[in-house]
Structure 1
C-alpha cells in the first residue's frame, strides 16, 4: 500500500512537469491557403507547409502549419496559388548555356542563308577593327530548320562575308560545326585530313572539305579557339544560375562537365551565389576508352578537389557521375547515331522517291562493347554512376549490355547507370531498363513533329522506327524509371514547354501547319512528366531522400507557379510562369 501511494505521488509530481515541455521551435516560413502538390508517394495536395533551417518540417492543413508560427515566422498566404517541388534537370550543359547568353547567337531560329549571313555580319560589325583576326564563334544554329528545309550549308555561306576572320557556327544540338575557309586553313583541314575517331569531315564531289564537321571532328577547330577567360566562365555560371532560377530549376546535372565548369560554379558557391544543387559529370573521351586509367585518375582528382560531400540545405557541388558518348545523333544531316538496322536513302528522285536501306548503320560505336563493359565496371568500383549518351537503338543496346554485365559481375553494387536521350530504342529493349535499374534521361521537347523529326528522320528511319521515335510513353509503360533532362543549350531553356510536349507530343502553334500534328506514339500523363523532372531526376542524382518531393525532413526546394498544371488543358503548361523559387529555404528568384 505504501509503495502504491509512493508511485502515485511520483506520478502526480511528474505529470505537470511533462506538461511543461518546451514548445516546438518556430518555423522560419509558413505557407497557407495554397494548392501544394507534394509529389509524395500518394501525390497528396495540401493547403499548408512550414520550413525551418532550410528543411520542410510540416505539410498538411493550415491549422497545423500556423501552430508552428512564432513571432519571427514569415507567413505567406498563397490565396489558392500553386506550390510544387523545384524542378531538377537531369541533363544539361550550364556553362555553355551561360556563355551562350553572353555570345553571338542565331537564337535557335528558323533562318534562311541570307538571314544567317545578316546576323553573322552584324556580329562582325559589332566587333569592329579591334577584333580583326580574332575567331568569331556563333552559337545556337538550328541546323535542321535552316530554310528552305534541306538546303545545303557549306563554307560558301561564310566565305561570302566581307571578313578575313576565321568563323565557326556551332549547331544548337552540339554535334555539328560549320567553318569558313579561313578557319579550315588555320586548322590544317584539307581533302586529305582523315576523320578522327568518333567524328566526320564532310567532303564535296571533288573531295574537298565542305566546312561541315561532325562530333569529334569539331575538336580540330575548337582547339584553336581561345577559350573563355576565367572571368568569362564565372559570369557565364552566374547567368546560367539566374536563368535556371527563373525557370524554377533547383538542381541540375552538368552532363559533360569540363574542369572549368566545375571550377566556375564552385567559385560562385564560395561567393554564396550558388542557387541550385550542382552535380557534374566529367567526360571520358572515346579515344581514352581502351586505356582509361589516366582519364579516370583525372576525374577522381576533380572529385577530391571539388565534391563537397554530404548534401545539406545550402546547395553545393558533387562530382559523382561520368559522361560517355556512345554515338552522335540519328537525324539528318549527321546520321551519327548507331543503329541496329541501316538508315534509308532515296534511290529515286525528289518527285518519285524510292526509299531503300542504305547499307549503313551509322559510325562505329564510340565505345565498342569490349571497351565499354570493363570501363563501366571500373567507374562503378570507384563510386561513379555512368551517364551514357545514346541516340540510336544500336548505341542504346550497347549501353544496356554494359549495364547488364555490371549487374552480373557485381549485383551487390548500387550503381545507377543512366542512358541519355534514347531517341530510338528497339522494343525488345524497353523492359531491360527496369530489369537492370537503368535510368533513361529523356528530353521531352524533342517528342514533337519538327524539321529534325520529320525532315531529318521520318523517311530515313522508315515507318516502323519512326512510329516509335522518342519512346517515353513506351518506356514508362515498361516500368522504366524515367528522368528528364533539357540538354540546354541544345534547345532553349524552357522546361515548361518540354513538359507540355512530353504530355501532348505537340509542337508550338507557331511551328506552322506542317508540324501541327502529334508525333506518333503515346505521351505521358501530366503526373508522369512532372515526376520525371522532380522525383525521377532526384533519384538519378541520388537526392531522393532530400529532394524531389515536399515532405517533412526534405530540403525546402520549392516553386510557386501561376497555374495548376495538373488541371485543364495540358497545352497550357507551356505558358506556365514561375512566381517564386526557393532553394534550401531561401528565395533565389521572385517574379516581383
Structure 2
C-alpha cells in the first residue's frame, strides 16, 4: 500500500523541506514532485501541519519508568511530607505488597540529599520500602529495608558505592551508586515477566503519545532481556527499542556470554520485531548531585573527595576491547571531567587495539568536559549523548551541585555549542524516568537555557538553535543507534511525527503532537 503525505510543512533534515512524501511498506520511496506525480492508495492531507521524522530517545530507561508507574508516584513532589503521604496512600491501597518500590523523588528538597529511614517509617514500618531518586544513582529506604538487608553501622561501604551515615556510623537510609543500592535490591522479590511486559507496553504508549517513535533502554540487567523478548513476541513492544546490556567491573566477564546469547535470540525474532541489542553500557562514575561524579579536582564541600571512579583504567580498557571486538557498541556513562577523560582514554586505546569498524562509541551525559578533552569527541568519533531538559539551572544544579563544585565548574556543564563547533555529533536522550520523556518540553531548553519563570540564561554562550536540537533528537539519535531513520529521505524508514505547527518558526509552547493511527 502506498501512502502520500502532502499539503503541510515537511521538514526533512537541517535546512531541507519537501512538499510531499510517498511511503510504501514503511519505507520512503519518493519526495516532492516525484511523490505528487506517483500513484498512491491513500492520501494523508496534513492540512498545513508540520511533519518531521519521529523523535528518537537515545538514552532512556522505559522499563524503569513503567515499573515506577506501578508503585507510589513521587515525581514532582516538593516536600518530604508529601512523599511520605504518597507512600502511605499507596501502602493503604496495596495491602498485600511484601515490598514497596517506587520513585522518583527529588533529592534536592533536602539539603545535602540525605533522606532518613525514620521519615519513611512514619508511613510504613512493617514492610520494606525502597524509593529511587530522580538521578537513579540514589535510593531512600525505611528501617525495615535496612534490617532485612543486614545493613548496620558495621556494614562497610562497597567499592564504588556509599551508605549515608549518622555521626555514630549507623545508616541514615540513603544509599548511592549501584554497588550500594544492590545491597538492598538484591533482597527484593523477583518481578514477573507479566508485570514487566505490562510496564513496557505502558511506556510505549506514553512514548507514542509524545511523538517518540524509537527509544533505548540504557540499563539492562538480568531478567530484563527476557521481558523485552516476551514483549516483542506478544506485540506489546510497539516502537523500535535498542537494549544496552549493563557491564559492571565485578561481573562483565561472566555476563559476556549472556549478552551474546540474548543478542542472538533478539536477532532471531525476525524482520517484524522492533527489538534490537547492539550496545553495552558502562557506568564510569556517579552523579554530581550525589557527590559521586568523578572529578579532576576535589569537591568543595568535601576536599578529601574527587567522587567515585567505578572502573579502574585497566579493567575498563579490557572490558571495552572485549565487547568492541564482539561487535557491540560502547556506551559509557561519564558525568564528571575525570570520568569523561577516563572514558575517552579507554575508547582511544581500544581503537588502537581492535581493527577499524563503524563502532560509533557514545559518552552519555558528558556534563562537565575539561577544555582539553572537548576536541577529542570529534577526533575519536565519540557521540556526546546529552539530556536537553537538563540544560538550565534547575534546583538540583542550584541547590545540590553548585555548592559542591562551585560556580565556575557548575557553569561549564552541557557545552552544546562548543561541541557542535568542534565537529562532534550530539544525540539527545531524555534519561526518562529521571526527567520527562516529552521532547516538546525539552526541545527549546538548549536554546533559552532558562528556568521556568526566569529570564536569566545559564551559560548562554552554549545555547543552540531549536533546529539544531531537532537534528539531535532525530538524525543524530538515529545515527547513534545504527537506525535507518531520523531523516525524511528516499530509502529511509517512514517513522514520522506530526505537530500542529512548525516548532522552528513558531512558539514551541503552543506546539502539540497530532495523534496518528497505529500503522
Question: Which interval holds the TM-score relative to the shorter structure?
Answer: over 0.9
2:67 is matched with which residue: 87, 94, 99?
99
SS at match of 1:588: coil
**Does the alignment pair 1:451 with 2:423?**
no
- Which runs of at least 4 in structure 1 moved beyond 4 Å after TM superposition? 149-152
Alpha-carbon distance in 2 for matches of 1:220, 1:151: 19
Which residue does the alignment assign to 1:256? 219
Q: Name 2:258's counterpart in structure 1.
A: 298
Figure out how many residues of one structure are paired with residues of the other and give that number. Answer: 517
Among candidates 394, 401, 419, match of residue 345 of structure 2:
401
Unmatched tracts of structure 2, length 5 or more: none
Counterpart for residue 410 of structure 1 = 354
Asked if 1:523 corresponds to 2:448, the answer is: no
Q: Cα offset for 1:322?
A: 0.2
Bigger shift: residues 412-421 or 235-244:
412-421
Structure 2 CA distance for aligned equivalents of residues 381 and 162 of structure 1: 49
Greater Rg over alpha carbons, structure: 1
Unaligned runs of 5+ in 1: 1-26, 346-356, 582-586
Provide Cα deviations, 1:495-515, integer angstroms capped at 9, x if missing partner. Answer: 211212122212233xxx5xx
- Indicate which of 281, 286, 295 corresponds to 1:328: 286
Assess, with a 3 A threshold, how the Cα gap between structure 1 residues 46 and 414 changes in structure 2: closer, same or farther: closer
Tell me which residue corresponds to 1:167. 129
**Equivalent-residue separation in structure 2 for 1:455 and 1:324 (angstroms):** 28
Matching residue of 1:427: 371
The answer to whether the Cα contact below 8 Å between 2:71 and 2:100 also exists between their aligned partners in 1 is no
SS in structure 2 opposite 1:281? strand
How does 1:3-402 map onto structure 2 within 5 Å? Answer: 28-39=2-13, 43-61=15-33, 64-70=34-40, 73-106=41-74, 108-128=75-95, 130-131=96-97, 134-144=98-108, 146=109, 153-161=115-123, 163-215=125-177, 216-288=179-251, 292-308=252-268, 314=272, 316-331=274-289, 334-345=290-301, 358-363=303-308, 365-402=309-346
Mapped contact 2:450–2:456 kept (Cα < 8 A): yes
The answer to whether residue 478 in structure 2 is matched with residue 538 in structure 1 is yes
- 1:397 and 1:429 in contact (8 A); partners too: yes
Contact kept? 1:447, 1:470, Cα under 8 Å? yes
Pick closer, same or farther for the CA change 1:151–1:453 going to 2, 3 Å: closer
Change beyond 3 A, Cα 1:367–1:151: closer
**2:214 and 2:241 in contact (8 A); partners too:** yes
In the superposition, relative to structure 1, how do residues 378 and 444 fare at CA in structure 2: closer, same or farther (>3 Å)?
same
Q: CA deviation at 1:517?
A: 2.5
Q: Please tell me whether the aligned partners of residues 245 and 588 of structure 1 are also in contact (alpha carbons under 8 angstroms).
A: no
Pick closer, same or farther for the CA change 1:152–1:539 going to 2, 3 Å: closer
**Given the superposition, is the C-alpha separation of residues 219 and 327 from structure 1 closer, same or farther in structure 2, using an over 3 Å criterion?**
same
Deviation of the 1:230 alpha carbon? 1.2
Q: For residue 330 of structure 2, give the secondary structure of its aligned residue in structure 1.
A: strand
Residue 528 and residue 567 in structure 1: after superposition, are their counterparts in 2 closer, same or farther (change >3 A)?
Answer: same
Report the Cα offset of residue 162 of structure 1.
5.6
Q: 1:162/1:222 Cα in 2 relative to 1: closer, same or farther (>3 Å)?
A: closer
**Where does residue 412 of structure 2 map in the other structure?**
468
Relative distance call for 1:183 and 1:43 in structure 2 (3 A) is same
Match of 1:567 in 2: 505
The CA deviation string for residues 316-340 of structure 1, in whole angstroms up to 9 with x for no partner, is 2211100110011012xx2010001
